[in-house]
Amino acid sequence: PFQMALYFCTGVLDDETLFHHYALNVPFYTHFTSPIRRYADIIVHRLLSASLGAGSPIKMEKEAIQKQADHCNDRKMASKRVQELSADLFFSIFVRVRL
């Protein structure tokens, strides 16, 4: 099974093999969606823009970026868990009503 994607700051990881995308089999990979959707994507857009010289430099230390990534990962996992529990709850109600 696929492992759930996690946000991380490359500057705090020593092992570059962790940057690898398993399914695409590419050594370096970044992913983001529209920055109106998630805060993590805003950070990725800003970092990518700064690294390409198209935006102003980021004034955050890499440890602070990693802390933001950890928080976004925690919230994403919590949201996924709540979604699963909600589906279980409504399925239980559906079954109960049908009996």
Q: Which amino acid is at 92?
A: S
Residue 14 identity: D
C-alpha distances out from residue 32 to 20, 47, 82, 87, 88, Å: 16, 11, 23, 27, 30
pLDDT in tens, 5-61: 788 888 888 888 778 888 888 888 877 777 677 888 888 888 889 989 998 988 999
C-alpha span between 31 and 9 (Å, rounded): 13
Chain segment 61-93, per-residue pLDDT in tens: 999 999 999 999 999 899 999 999 999 999 999
| Backbone phi, psi, residue 21, to 5° | -100, 115
Strand partners, 26: 21
Residue 20's contacts (CB-CB under 8 Å, 6 or more residues apart) are 26, 27, 28, 29
Q: What is the pLDDT of residue 35?
A: 67
Give the list of residues 6+ apart from residue 80 with CB closer than 8 angstroms, or none.
4
